Amino acid sequence: LFSIVDPPGAIPVYVAMTSDRSQPERNKIALMTSLYFVLILASFFLAGSYILSFFGLTVPSLRCAGGLTLLISVFRL
């Protein structure tokens, strides 16, 4: 999950978007964003298999599709 969220990559975006805000307001924004991320990731962690089965997908087919997507993007580079 750490690689999905990418906190080091989000730091420059956060700093650029909150540069005109006060420090307490920036802290509140960071806290609320972290809570939203935790809620979203936890909900997909808990309900992910139900969502996949609703669409008729399996984990191996999702892995295969992800691998093909990465392969295509590598060939484009």
Single-letter code of the amino acid located at 66: G
Q: Residues for the chain: how many in total?
A: 77
pTM, to two decimals: 0.63
Q: Binning pLDDT at 50, 70 and 90, where does residue 44 land?
A: confident
Mean pLDDT of 45-74: 90
Mean pLDDT of 48-70: 90
As a whole number, the mean pLDDT across the chain is 89
Q: Binning pLDDT at 50, 70 and 90, where does residue 16 land?
A: very high
Sign, CA dihedral 57-61-67-71, equals negative
Alpha-carbon gap, residue 35 to 56, rounded angstroms: 30
